Amino acid sequence: MKFEKKYILYLVVTFILCYAILANWENGTDIVRTIYKTSLPFLYGAAGAYIVNIVMSAYEKAYVYAFKGSPLVLKVKRGICMLLAYLTFFILITWIISIVIPDLIASISTLTKFDTPSIKEVVNQLEHNKLLARVIKYIGGDAKLTQTITSYSQQLLKQFIGVLTNILTSVTVIASAIINLFISFVFSLYVLANKESLCRQGNTLVDTYTGKYAQRIHYLVDLLHHRFHGFFVSQTLEAMILGTLTTTGMFLLQLPFAGTIGVLVAFTALIPVVGASIGLPAMWVLMAITIGASLRGIVGMIIAVPLAATLYQVIKDNIQKKQAIQKKQVS
């Protein structure tokens, strides 16, 4: 009787929860969407801290090796290495912008540059163009032409007002993006400054509340960390090598826009094609890239490969474990 009452209670509670969710579906989705948008700067900050931590850890190893005999200097290791890591990214971004922007301006000025003889030639061709004369004849005389021009001017004015509205909207969006970027940056500083304590707190929460599943969760988190770390390092090294080789080759051949094309090649090389270095066959790399691109574009492509590599390794380890158990049972 107790068994039946317990499951009847579970059924009633489940029914009430389902009814409450369906009755307040729109409000619930709005709340979830608001929470998601609000938490995005913190998610971006955590992701940025993870990437910066790769460079910061390298600086910390070099710092400890250089000042291992100076305890007082080692106390400021975290702050100095964090500053060096962010300074590295800032210099890299500034350097890339200083290469791309001048070449972009030069290419635009080249496209918009017309000399006077060319303009005169175009005017002469238009004056003796039979097709253009037919178009003017079809439009009509001066009065009708004036009316047509007025109509087009009104349409142009409406489009101009629409452009101004879009610009104002864009300014608001840009201001919001700058605020979110600042929040992400500050949050990443907190994460990097307290990464050991945050890891200990996370491990304590997992061990306390997950019980027998704690070991599996730790295994999955460690596997995710190794796959993402290996993927980012290998992909970045590949992009740097390809970009450097492209720029050097174009400089030697005296081709234009060598720096910009080298940067472009390096950025396109970040699109994942490396799978063997993180234990993922090429076929599954292609599948992960396609699915990730359809979900989140370039960011989805970059994230999908290490996620797929982690899933592949988990399935592989599980199969090996089950096969080992089956062999023991047979023997």
CA pair distance 1, 8, nearest whole angstrom? 11
pLDDT at 251: 85
pLDDT at 191: 92
pLDDT at 84: 93
Tokens of 64: 């400890």
SS3 at position 246: helix
CA pair distance 151, 306, nearest whole angstrom? 57
SS3 for 174-225, per residue? Answer: HHHHHHHHHHHHHHHHHHHHCHHHHHHHHHHHHHHHCHHHHHHHHHHHHHHH
SS3 at position 254: coil
pLDDT at 114: 52
Is 40 within 8 Å of 180 (Cβ atoms)? yes
CA pair distance 157, 164, nearest whole angstrom? 11
CA pair distance 313, 202, nearest whole angstrom? 23
Q: Alpha-carbon torsion 255, 261, 266, 268, what sign?
A: negative
pLDDT at 234: 82
Low-confidence ranges of the chain (pLDDT < 70): 1-6, 107-154, 157, 272-278, 331
pLDDT at 52: 92
